[in-house]
Every structure is written in structure tokens, then in C-alpha cells.
Amino acid sequence: MAESYLSRGVSPTKEDVKEAIKTQNRGLYPGAFCKIVPDIAGDENYCSVIHADGAGTKSILAYLYYKETGDAEIFKGIAQDSLVMNIDDMLCVGAVNNFIVSNTIGRNAHRIDKNILKAVIEGYDEVIQRLKKYNINIYMAGGETADIGDLTPTVIVDSTVFARIERSKVLTCDNIKEDDVIIALGSYGKSVYENSYNSGIGSNGFTLARHVLLSSYYKDNYPETYSTTIDKEKIYSGKYRLTDKISASNQTVGEALLSPTRTYLPVINEILDKKFNEVHAIIHCTGGGIMKSKNFGKGLVYIKDNLFDVPEIFKEIQSAGNIPDKEMFSVFNMGHRMELYCNENNADEIINVIKKYNIDAKVIGKVEKNDNPTQNKVVIKHNGNSYIY
């Protein structure tokens, strides 16, 4: 169990949620990364995907940054976070183009003003225009701004995204096979379609990251940014202000934590266009970190023993919170947020496509058969230690 996370009121694996929905219909392709339903237009050759997600508590960091600097532009990145958490889940089933987006903003109007709303809306528009340069079409279909100060003391930024795809182009994680290799796509650096260096953190684990890194200054000055149900010792227990530099990095704490979540859509769009038959499955390493693959396939062991060097932001979080390796790997992406599964003899050409976009990529492991045909297992090997999930 991820104790550092759970003690702050968050479950990285959401076992209670899984229990609550276990009797629900799982759609046309139960082994897919996202739920897929019959085509809304009634075409038997197509199917529909609709997905809802958001920036989570990362929006609280943007709020703190805005309060400290007065710069509402930081919320443009939060819009990108909200969008990418949807489209990068959907690309895992083969939906890579022609998306319709509706956004939902829930705010406390006493604290979230028109400048922030404007920045969020412009943030959606800007990332959509950036992706259009790579022939990816995303259409905004309006949304809802709800003044719900009794529910949230700050702001929630969520999105719902819809797409239709041909059934012949659906990817399902049931296709993962024994002897497949695992290609990881780095979450850090500066891709050809990003404007600045990305720390790699994405949009997961922010309740933990925020509280272990930031100092009690934020507890004293911004009580609206934390829950009163958390043990006081767990609230903003770190040493940093948002404008402080991370010792082993060129970024400030605020820049690192607020790096907009990287989308892999331009990369995957090209890979699936050119090499669809070579890709067996795609997994987005979000909630659950890089043990996420445990939820997919059947009777498999995912061995990950050649990981990227851990980016500095994760080292800093781990050190500040004294968090065990095993928990870090179950909460954060630790350097890669996307995994592709394929035959070993196809790996090099796929990696070459990824690297064209200035994104690190390599084979980080392989898939083996599990002795128990009904269960999966993830084995992570790091710094001479093995962690089994």
C-alpha cells in the first residue's frame, strides 16, 4: 500500500473504485485500456470512445503560483494537463484523431477570477493549435463553468473527450503476448512540440508531491489548499517555496511541478499510421505509476529491469518524503509515462520513430508467462533491488 499517499487521503490504485464498478458492463473490448462502446452513428464498422479526466490537484499548485506571482498564464498548462490526461488514455485504444472536447471548470468565484478562466480557455485553444500542426484535429464543443464554492475552495479543471474509431484499428491490451518487449517513452526533456523543458512529472501524485516538497509557509498562508482531514504533520512538510531552485536541476520547484503534461499523440499517431500491425498494445502509466500494467492482460509477468535514469523531480520528492522505492514506482511514472508492447524484432524501428520527436525511448523490459494463469505480476528491478507487485 502507498502509505505516504494514503495518509493524505488519496489511493493511487483506487481499489475501492474498482470494487464499486466491477459489475458494470466493460464495453465492446473488455481488455482495452479505455471503455469502448457501439458507434453513436450506428455504423457496425466503427465504435465510440468517450473519456473523462482532469488536471487533479495540480490546479492547486497553479493557484498557489498565481497567488504568489499574479501570473494567471500558468493556468494554460493546467488546461493542457486536463486535455492530455484524456487524449493520451484514448490513444492507447487507437483513437488518435478527430476528438471533440467539452471542458468543465468548478471554481470558488471568490478566489478564481476572470483572468484564470481566460487563461484556462486559452490554454485549451493553444494546445489544440499546436497539435493541429501535426495533422491532429481536436474540436472544442463548449463546456461548463460552475460556481461551486461550497464544494471546492479553489478550482477543478476537468475535460470530457469523444472520438469515433474504426473497429479494425482498435488496440486492446489482450494482445500483449509472452516474449513481447516493453518500449518506454521518456516523460522528461523537451520534445520538438514543447516550448520548454519538461520535468516529466505529468499529472499524477500531486497531493503527495505538493505536501512533501512545499514548506509550512503554504499551510499558514493558504489553508484553502488542503483538507482538514489530513494529519497536520503531513500538511506542507517540506522545505521549498515555489520559486526556490531544485538543487540538482535548472528548474525551480514551481517550474518542475507545473511542467504541462506531455502528450504522446503526435508520436503515436505516426507509429500507428505506419506500423499499426507491429504494435500489440499501449499502456499509459498514470494512476498506479509504472506498475499500471498489472491491470491488463492475463497470466503475465511484466519485468521492467532497464529503466531510464530517474528524473530529478522524483528524486527530490522521494528524498523530501522519505518514500520507499516500491511506493514511488506505484505512484509516479519515474521517467516514462507511456509503454508500447511489440515483438523484439520490431522494437528498433519503432524507437527510431519516437526519437525523431526528441523523446527518449528504449526497451525497458519484457513480458513473461506467469505460473498463475489468472493473475498478473509486475517486477521492477532498480539499483540492485527487486520490487514485486
C-alpha span between 300 and 143 (Å, rounded): 41
**CA distances in angstroms from 381 to 121, 306, 363, listed in the order given:** 42, 8, 14
Q: Report the 10 Å Cβ neighbour count for 76.
A: 20
**pTM of the model as a whole:** 0.94
Look at the chain and count its residues.
Answer: 389
Is the confidence at residue 25, as pLDDT, over 90?
Answer: no
Band (128; pLDDT cuts 50, 70, 90): very high
Cα torsion angle, 15, 17, 18, 23, sign: positive
Pull the grid cell for residue 66. Answer: 498565481
Q: Kind and range of the H or E element at 173?
A: none
pLDDT per residue over 193-208, tens digit each?
A: 999 999 999 999 999 9
List CB contacts of 143: < 8 A, sequence separation 6 or more: 102, 103, 104, 105, 159
Please name every residue paired with 387 in a beta bridge, in sequence order, or none if there are none: 380
pLDDT per residue over 76-124, tens digit each?
A: 999 999 999 999 999 999 999 999 999 999 999 999 999 999 999 999 9
Band (175; pLDDT cuts 50, 70, 90): very high
3-state SS class at 14 = coil
Strands 377-382 and 300-304, sheet pairing = parallel
Among the listed residues 115, 106, 117, the one whose alpha carbon sits nearest the alpha carbon of residue 149: 106
In the predicted model, what is the mean pLDDT of residues 379-386? 97
pLDDT per residue over 344-366, tens digit each?
A: 999 999 999 999 999 999 999 99
Rg (CA), the chain: 20
Q: For the stretch 36-51, what's the b/e string if a residue is b when 16 or more beta carbons lie within 10 angstroms of its beta carbon?
A: beebeeeeeebbbbbb
